[in-house]
């Protein structure tokens, strides 16, 4: 949720941010007008309440014969106060409605849409082979790692089974991610996958992409698309202690996305699916520490990508491709040989104070005054990584080499074709 004080003092910055995102800058002026109306309604209601209080004292001091007339005036004043209170509540509701429509203020991201990112760095050279490489699904099926056919039979399109060493390979990278997170001072959690509407709304996932979220109307609960949602709600309504530095969490959970609007995109394999597992980092920090914390999360992702030994690049995502909560986002994209391109594996976002303001999470500054926290998130490992691991580590005989860091968890160095009958 946007800071109204910042909006009043920097309306042109917020308008420019809306334009960068490809969103409506006129919402800024509507919110400014609504905020002014809200403040006027508060002043009017306060004045009437003060008048009512003074009038009450006057009645108490009046002679008995004067009180009936004064009481009649008091009732009229009471009705005016009631109307003013209603007007104030309506004005506050309108401000709240408009605040939810304005995305976070872009901070440093390039302008443009999905294709206007800036490549910040390449790590490793694109993998090449002296044989015709197989894609991850063909490899996964021949190695007995992925069963899309039975996943579709059981649950429909974009569902799958990870089987045998495919399940172990996923557990390996998630466990390695969990270990690395704990070693870096993150508190490991397994999080709920169902959350209340106010938590989903607070993290910004019920805006433009609400149709991608699974909703259970009988229970009024949402299935999370990332454990970021549950971790953001963990401290909802609290004042947390940041005197020793950021509070860092790593959430391990299954995640669910309807993938609405993606019909026909990435229908083969497990790149774009409805259910997957993930270890997600989440940080609470002081706003002035957010940029440095963003780099820390990116460095954690670098470390994990080095461990799975795949070539990748880091991009600065353009404003028009940011989620509503993110002020800036860096994606890491791994090379996928059979697609001859880079595909997203992780992202890390700086959400500044946008989510914490919605969720009312604060800390005390050096003077003991409550201030709004900043929040950041970043993916440390997820199911989609299997695509990059299988394709980049395949060998001419159809086998796949297990990255060294994952071998202790998987229990073998090479995954070989099996009879899937």
Could you report the per-residue pLDDT of 184-242, keeping only the tens digit for each?
A: 999 999 999 999 999 999 998 887 678 889 999 999 999 999 999 999 999 999 999 99
What Å distances lie between residue 324 and 84, 210, 217, 329, CA to CA? 34, 11, 24, 11
What is the assigned CATH class of domain 4-101? mainly alpha
Does residue 273 have a known ligand-binding role? yes
Torsion of CA 332, 291, 319, 109, to 10 degrees: -90
Q: Please provide the DSSP assignment of 197-231 as one string.
A: HHHHHHTTTTSTTGGGS-EETTTTEEE-SSTHHHH
Active site residues: 257, 272, 344, 347, 384
pLDDT at 83: 86
Domain 118-415: homologous superfamily in CATH: Bira Bifunctional Protein; Domain 2 (3.30.930.10)
Of the pLDDT bands very low, low, confident and very high (cuts 50, 70, 90), residue 379 is very high
Q: Alpha carbon 56 to chain centroid distance?
A: 51
Q: Are 407 and 413 in contact (CB under 8 A)?
A: yes
The C-alpha atoms of residue 15 and residue 217 are separated, in whole angstroms, by 36
Locate tokens 């929040």: which residue? Answer: 375
pLDDT value at 420 more than 60: no
Average pLDDT, the chain: 92
Say what the pLDDT of residue 211 is. Answer: 86
Flag whether 157 is marked binding. no
- The answer to whether residue 407 scores a pLDDT higher than 50 is yes
User: What pLDDT score does 303 carry?
Assistant: 97
Whether 275 has a binding-site annotation, put simply, is: yes
Distance CA 252, CA 8 (A): 40
The CATH 1.10.287.40 domain(s) of the chain lie at 4-101
Which is higher by pLDDT, 259 or 75?
A: 259
Quick: pLDDT tens for 92-150.
999 989 998 999 999 989 988 999 999 999 999 999 999 999 999 999 999 999 999 99
Q: Is 51 annotated as a binding residue?
A: no
pLDDT at position 93: 92
Distance, CA of 376 to CA of 371 (rounded, Å): 17
- Per-residue b or e along 244-272, where b marks 16 or more CB atoms closer than 10 Å to that residue's CB: eebbbbbbbbebbbbbeeeeeebeebbbe
259 labeled binding residue: yes
CATH 3.30.930.10 in the chain, residue ranges: 118-415
Give the C-alpha separation, 311 to 289, whole Å. Answer: 30
The reply to whether 18 sits in an annotated binding site is no
Q: Band of the pLDDT at 77, cuts 50, 70, 90?
A: confident
pTM, to two decimals: 0.89
With bands split at pLDDT 50, 70 and 90, how would you rate the model's confidence at 421?
A: very low
């Amino acid at each position: 949720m946007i800071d109204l004080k910042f909006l009043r003092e920097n309306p042109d910055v917020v308008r420019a941010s809306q334009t960068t995102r490809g969103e409506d800058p006129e919402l800024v002026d509507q919110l400014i007008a609504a905020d002014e109306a809200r403040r006027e309604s508060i002043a009017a209601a306060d004045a009437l309440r003060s008048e009512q209080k003074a009038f009450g004292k006057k009645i108490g001091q009046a002679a008995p014969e004067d009180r009936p007339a004064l009481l009649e005036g008091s009732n009229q004043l009471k009705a005016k106060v009631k109307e003013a209170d209603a007007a104030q509540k309506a004005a506050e509701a309108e401000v709240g409605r408009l605040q939810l429509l304005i995305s976070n203020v872009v901070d440093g991201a390039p302008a443009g849409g999905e294709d206007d990112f800036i490549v910040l760095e390449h790590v490793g050279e694109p993998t090449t082979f002296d044989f015709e490489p197989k894609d991850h699904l063909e490899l996964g099926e021949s190695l007995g790692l992925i069963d899309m056919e039975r996943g579709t039979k059981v649950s429909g399109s974009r569902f799958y089974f990870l089987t045998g060493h495919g399940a172990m390979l996923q557990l390996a990278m998630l466990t390695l991610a969990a270990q690395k997170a704990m070693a870096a001072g993150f508190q490991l959690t397994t999080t709920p996958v169902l959350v209340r509407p106010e938590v989903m709304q607070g993290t910004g996932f019920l805006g433009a992409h609400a149709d991608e979220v699974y909703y259970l109307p009988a229970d009024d609960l949402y299935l999370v698309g990332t454990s970021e949602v549950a971790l953001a709600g963990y401290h909802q309504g609290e004042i947390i202690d940041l005197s020793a530095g950021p509070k860092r969490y790593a959430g391990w959970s299954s995640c669910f996305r309807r993938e609405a609007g993606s019909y026909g995109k990435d229908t083969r394999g497990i790149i774009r699916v409805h259910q997957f597992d993930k270890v997600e980092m989440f940080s609470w920090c002081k706003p002035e520490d957010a940029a440095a914390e963003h780099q820390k999360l990116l460095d954690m992702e670098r470390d994990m990508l080095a461990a799975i030994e795949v070539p990748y690049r880091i991009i600065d995502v353009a404003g028009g491709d940011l989620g509503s909560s993110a002020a800036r986002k860096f994606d890491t994209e791994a090379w996928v040989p059979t697609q001859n391109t880079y595909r997203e594996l992780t992202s890390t976002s700086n959400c500044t104070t946008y989510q914490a303001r919605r969720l009312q999470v604060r800390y005390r500054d050096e003077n003991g005054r409550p201030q709004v926290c900043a929040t950041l998130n970043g993916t440390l490992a997820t199911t989609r990584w299997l695509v990059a691991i299988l394709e980049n580590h395949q060998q001419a005989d159809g086998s796949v080499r297990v990255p060294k860091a994952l071998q202790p968890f998987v229990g073998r160095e090479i995954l070989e074709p099996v009879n899937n009958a």
